[in-house]
Amino acid sequence: MRTRERHFVRPLLRSAPGRGELSPAERAVPSYAPPSLPRYRSFPMSTDFRTTVFLPQTDFPMRADLPNREPRLQARWQEIGLYERLRETAKGREKFVLHDGPPYANGHIHMGTALNKILKDVVVKNQQMLGKDAPYVPGWDCHGLPIEWQIEQEYRKKGMDKDAVSIADFRRECREHALRFIDIQRGEFIRLGVSGDWANPYTTMAFDAEAGIFRELSKFLLSGSLYRGKKSVMWSVVEKTALAEAEVEYHDHTSVTIWVKFDIVRPSHAELEGAKAVIWTTTPWTMPANRAIAYGPLMDYAVITVQAVGADSLAKPGERLLLGLDLIEEVAKAAGITEWSTGPVLKGTALEGTIARHPFAGLEGGYGFEVPLLSADYVTTDQGTGLVHTAPTHGEDDFNTGLKYGLEIPDTVAGDGTYTEEAPGFVGLHVFKAAEPVIEALVAREALLARGTLVHSYPHSWRSKAPLIFRATAQWFIPMDGEDHLRQKALAAIDTTRFVPARGKNRIRSMVESRPDWNISRQRSWGVPIAVFVEKASGAVLRDPEVVERIAQAFETEGADAWWTRDPQFFLGDRYRLEDFEKIDDILDVWFDSGSTHATVLEQRPELKWPADLYLEGSDQHRGWFHSSLLESCGTRGRAPYDAVLTHGFVVDAEGRKMSKSLGNTLSPMDLMKTHGADILRLWTVSSDYAEDIRIGKQVLDGTADAYRRLRNTLRYILGNLAGFNETERLEVEKMPELERWVLHRLTDLDRAVRELNASFDFAALYKAIHDFCAVDLSAFYFDVRKDAFYCDSKDSLRRRAARTVLDYLFDCLTAWLAPVLVHTAEEAWLSRHPDADSVHLRRYPELPAAWRDEALALKWQRVREIRRVITGALELERKEKRIGASLQAAPVVHVLAKDESLLKGIDMAELAITSGLELSTAPAPANAFKAEDVDGVAVEPRLAAGLKCARCWQVLVEVEQSSNGICQRCEAAVAKVAA
RNA sequence: GGGCCCGUAGCUCAGUUGGUUAGAGCGCACGCCUGAUAAGCGUGAGGUCGGCCGUUCAAGUCGGCCCGGGCCCA
């Protein structure tokens, strides 16, 4: 590791502490350089030798102008059919398949999509250049709610009624909408420089995809893994539909609250004899659906005996009420109970097995069932009574408790919000008008303890703004723990999958461990139908491979619309009669669609393979695509559809906050295309640590643009100094100076980094290594040192030939290594040097000769550069004192140890330090010589170079004093050769 | 509220099994060059490693709490 010298110590001061403070000028004036002398002199009658200097020549401009240049390169790629050429070139090679997670075909791309696609493109191009055949088939997720919304919104604008449109017409419009945004996004991805089979992407709405998705569903159907169950969903009684979380908004709502007494009919504990369990609810209308009372097993309860009550109290003295210990006061206050006595404390677990009676028991002959007290861990003491009214139909927790204890899940409320026959006494009544009738019935049966109102946050429909209800509805599921043991298979698959970063494994694992059965149905229109029939008599779902095949074939030729446009009897064939069956019109959740792409795309397209080598998506997809693909594939094929999963974080703003329209901190990738260009965005992508959240903002982008300029100028310097290079000029490595061989050694370091860091997907480290190599090793050192040889050596000088040969290798390596990221700039540079070439992207990473590697040389040159740093440090002080400007005005004496002297044998330190002369000495350094704090054994006495400045190479040499035209002997020879 | 995770110089990142004055590049400041020039070179200044408490001879590295932030759930 190189460290920069930072603290220069003046030994003079150290050795003479008693002299007191000296001014900087006093300290710095050495006796050997009288300040009165001119800083340097040139030959009096020098002619202009500029034209004889081999200055860099290139048409590769310093200014990138990416916003204009990139589209031109992209057009060229299109013309030459780059993607097809890539496939051709790589034919027969080992495949590397990154399977594209399909973005949703709605709206324009955002920063996150851009980041994702760029990372994918970098991975794919790296693998291709590492020698694999890396096809990339982009895809789109096309079905689903957001597109339905868009179309419905257009209807509303036109004043049309959605229900008046046929489902086929509606689906056609959804399809056209998706198609439109596929085109838009495709153009945007191409603008980012992403290569892929853009002419033949996959979509989940293609007819063969719809058929394929249905075929995947059928595998679950035929194996018996598809079942119809119920699930509590948010339901709008206005729109008569279930709503997704995204369609729900929360507003304050005033609810009538009630405290209700349930007679305990079978106590589990003597204390409960004759007592009443008290519940509290904000939804009186759910009372007919009550089937249980939940208690907290670890909470404390007690039975109170009412002794005195206030004027309007519904409580009666002598009544015994079971309540949560911490909530007694609060309930007493609400119920107007002024005096009471409290019985012994009962743990929640003591309530186990207690049975109560529904307060409506006997009402119109209904409610005769038992109401058990059940344990639930969500019961709290912050509100209510410590006993929770449980209506399995009307809430997530309630529903889960119902499932857990096998409670009846009644259909008490119809889709329009009216009570069904299963709510005796209230049939036909609308639930939003039910509070008072319910309360009246409770009062009549002496079951009401108190009432009140509460303002709280309550879910409302995003569209109608009407309050929502929870309602259990019929849904389709794939079991996690059925005969197929899907959960176990999925967990096993997770264990054998590589996750990058590794923590992704834990994340998806804990989700799979605890998730409920997979709900795959939606009550919508734009999707692949759950095209199954249920036998009316038995309620069994029809499992007949012939029916399945008829449906699948119809989907293949007509699309999934066939489910609605064809006569259902056609699918059933001759063996079944339609009137015996219920045709299911639910559609599949889009996660099932995209979760099936491994089957509909990887298995179907010959250029791909199953399983994929890699899935690469944002970390939200642990619950999304990684998850659904895993379940689908484990359910149908017994293993994960991928060998490895790479996740990246989210793009956040400069302060680390998420980007959102409401915060006004969003950046559009397409805007950045106009101001910066794709290569800047791509460089930003790889220089960030994608494992975490990725910041972007002005300062970050400015920094990226600076790094880009460094890389670009490195290429430009190489191109400029490589002008006219031809094979006869190439020099064998054995004949090269050590400096050149050191550069080649460094290339082998970088080559290693390219291969290893690409294997670990550690792009940030890789691009820092390349950038630092360009900045530190090349620009600040090698290029600076070799400028003299490039510009002034005669063209046949071995030194110059060696250096130009190295530039040639550098160019080959850097253009290849940068190509996956700076896709445009690398191409531009490559074509600048090889105008007849096809594309830099058709290349592979160069295979470097093993002989270039020379660890001993690297170690030696680490020391050489340390010594050099002491010299540049010394010169800097001279510069500060205005004794020199350019380093060529100096010819320092460098005092070194004997071991360093032998180390430097054959190395021209003056050349490396860019001084006109340099004397190496093992004699003890004078006390005032410069030393670097962190470099031992080196001291530098700065001296001015003697002689005159060569008018051509600008070195200050004594020999120039003898020259007739003001140039040195080397330049004389070089000029003569040019003239000849 | 729960699960997973993050917080090292202005920015982007390194910091190995806890062990000498915490590193790099960029940016910044100052200076140089004017034959890479809307370039190039050199030198320098920047960090109580989010905060607090603890474990330890020793903590950026381990533990707890808090603050800030992200994703996914509720």
Angle between helices A823-833 and A698-721 (to 10 degrees): 10
pLDDT of residue A35 exceeding 70: no
For tokens 């959605």, the residue is A162
CA of A621 to C1' of B10 (A): 34
CA of A269 to C1' of B55 (A): 49
CA of A506 to C1' of B55 (A): 28
Which nucleotide is nearest to A400 if distance is taken from CA to C1'? B74
User: Which bases in strand B are touched by protein, i.e. have an atom under 7 Å from a CB?
Assistant: 3-6, 10-14, 23-27, 31-45, 68-74
Q: Tell me: the pLDDT tens digits for A426-435? A: 888 888 888 8
CA of A765 to C1' of B49 (A): 20
CA of A299 to C1' of B46 (A): 56
Mean pLDDT of A67-96: 97
Which 3 state secondary structure label does DSSP give A418? strand
What are the b/e assignments for A180-219, b being 16+ CB within 10 Å? ebbeebbebbbbbbbbbbbeebbbbbbbbbbbbbbbbbbb
Q: Which residue is closest, via its CA, to the C1' of B70?
A: A693
Q: Which residue is closest, via its CA, to the C1' of B33?
A: A886
CA of A771 to C1' of B10 (A): 20
Q: Tell me: the pLDDT tens digits for A709-726? A: 999 999 999 999 999 999
Mean pLDDT of A814-821: 98
Q: How confident is the model at residue A340 (pLDDT cuts 50, 70, 90)?
A: confident
Q: Which token pair is A315?
A: 């409580």
What is the predicted pLDDT for the residue at A176? 97
Task: Residue A372: name the closest of A265, A457, A489 by CA.
Answer: A265
pLDDT of residue A297 exceeding 70: yes
In DSSP notation, A389-405 reads: EE-GGG-HHHHHHHHHH
What distance in Å separates the CA atoms of residue A90 and residue A134, rounded to the nearest whole number? Answer: 8
pLDDT of residue A336 exceeding 80: yes
What distance in Å separates the CA atoms of residue A727 and residue A725, rounded to the nearest whole number? Answer: 7
What is the predicted pLDDT for the residue at A44? 52
Which nucleotide is nearest to A654 if distance is taken from CA to C1'? B11
What is the predicted pLDDT for the residue at A41? 55
pLDDT of residue A584 exceeding 90: yes
pLDDT of residue A454 exceeding 90: no
CA distances to A41, A403, A439, A493, A540 from A486, in Å = 87, 20, 47, 10, 22
Q: Tell me: the pLDDT tens digits for A344-388? A: 888 888 888 888 888 887 877 888 888 888 888 777 777 788 888
Query: How many whole angstroms from its chain centre is CA A439?
Result: 53
Mean pLDDT of A602-611: 97
Mean pLDDT of A753-777: 95
Which nucleotide is nearest to A700 if distance is taken from CA to C1'? B11
Q: Which residue is closest, via its CA, to the C1' of B2?
A: A378
pLDDT of residue A43 exceeding 80: no
Which nucleotide is nearest to A884 if distance is taken from CA to C1'? B32
CA of A321 to C1' of B2 (A): 33
Q: Tell me: the pLDDT tens digits for A619-656? A: 999 999 999 999 999 999 999 999 999 999 999 999 99
Mean pLDDT of A330-356: 83
CA of A858 to C1' of B12 (A): 28
Which nucleotide is nearest to A663 if distance is taken from CA to C1'? B69
Which nucleotide is nearest to A762 if distance is taken from CA to C1'? B13
Q: Which token pair is A475?
A: 């849904």
CA of A937 to C1' of B58 (A): 32
- Among the residue ranges A98-102, A187-191, A334-338, A498-502, the one predicted with the least confidence is A334-338
Which nucleotide is nearest to A790 if distance is taken from CA to C1'? B35
CA of A926 to C1' of B60 (A): 42
What is the predicted pLDDT for the residue at A713? 97
Q: Which residue is closest, via its CA, to the C1' of B6?
A: A692
In DSSP notation, A275-304 reads: -EEEEEES-GGGGGG--EEEE-TTSEEEEE
pLDDT of residue A17 exceeding 80: no
CA of A689 to C1' of B4 (A): 18
Which nucleotide is nearest to A705 if distance is taken from CA to C1'? B26
Q: What is the DSSP letter of A143?
A: -
pLDDT of residue A194 exceeding 80: yes
pLDDT of residue A707 exceeding 90: yes
Which nucleotide is nearest to A717 if distance is taken from CA to C1'? B36
CA of A335 to C1' of B3 (A): 40
Beta bridge partners of A483: none
What are the b/e assignments for A596-631, b being 16+ CB within 10 Å? bbbbbbbeebeebebbbbbbbbbbebbebbbbbbbb
What is the predicted pLDDT for the residue at A246? 64
Q: Which residue is closest, via its CA, to the C1' of B71?
A: A620
pLDDT of residue A14 exceeding 80: no
What is the predicted pLDDT for the residue at A356? 85
CA of A770 to C1' of B24 (A): 13
Q: Which token pair is A549?
A: 């095949």
What is the predicted pLDDT for the residue at A676? 96
Which nucleotide is nearest to A514 if distance is taken from CA to C1'? B3
CA of A735 to C1' of B62 (A): 55
pLDDT of residue A25 exceeding 50: no
CA distances to A947, A960, A961, A968, A972 from A964, in Å = 14, 8, 8, 10, 10
Residues of chain A with pLDDT > 90, as a percent, come to 64
pLDDT of residue A21 exceeding 50: no
CA of A503 to C1' of B65 (A): 24
Q: What is the mean pLDDT of chain A?
A: 89
pLDDT of residue A422 exceeding 90: no
Q: Which residue is closest, via its CA, to the C1' of B10?
A: A699
Q: How confident is the model at residue A839 (pLDDT cuts 50, 70, 90)?
A: very high
- Among the residue ranges A29-38, A179-188, A816-825, the one predicted with the least confidence is A29-38
- Among the residue ranges A76-80, A82-86, A288-292, A549-553, the one predicted with the least confidence is A288-292
CA of A811 to C1' of B8 (A): 35
Q: Which residue is closest, via its CA, to the C1' of B23?
A: A3
Q: Are A434 and A419 in contact (CB under 8 A)?
A: yes
Beta bridge partners of A148: none
What is the predicted pLDDT for the residue at A153? 86
CA of A3 to C1' of B23 (A): 8
Q: Which residue is closest, via its CA, to the C1' of B68?
A: A656
CA of A146 to C1' of B54 (A): 52
What is the predicted pLDDT for the residue at A97? 98
What is the predicted pLDDT for the residue at A42? 55
CA of A755 to C1' of B22 (A): 30
- Where do the DSSP E strands lie in A77-221? 98-99, 139-140, 202-203
Residues of chain A with pLDDT > 70, as a percent, come to 94
Say whether the ipTM exceeds 0.90.
yes
pLDDT of residue A81 exceeding 80: yes
Which nucleotide is nearest to A51 if distance is taken from CA to C1'? B35
What is the predicted pLDDT for the residue at A27? 36
Beta bridge partners of A500: A646
- Among the residue ranges A36-40, A400-404, A524-528, A671-675, the one predicted with the least confidence is A36-40
Torsion angle of the four alpha carbons A686, A130, A103, A629, in this order, in degrees rounded to the nearest 10: -120
- Among the residue ranges A462-466, A775-779, A902-906, the one predicted with the least confidence is A462-466
Q: Which residue is closest, via its CA, to the C1' of B45?
A: A6
Residue A310's CB is within 10 A of a number of other CB atoms, namely 11
Which nucleotide is nearest to A39 if distance is taken from CA to C1'? B32
Q: Is the peptide bond before A529 cis (omega within 30 degrees of 0)?
A: no
What is the predicted pLDDT for the residue at A38? 39
Which nucleotide is nearest to A507 if distance is taken from CA to C1'? B4
CA of A183 to C1' of B63 (A): 54
Which nucleotide is nearest to A781 if distance is taken from CA to C1'? B41
Which nucleotide is nearest to A877 if distance is taken from CA to C1'? B43
Which nucleotide is nearest to A872 if distance is taken from CA to C1'? B42
CA of A430 to C1' of B39 (A): 78
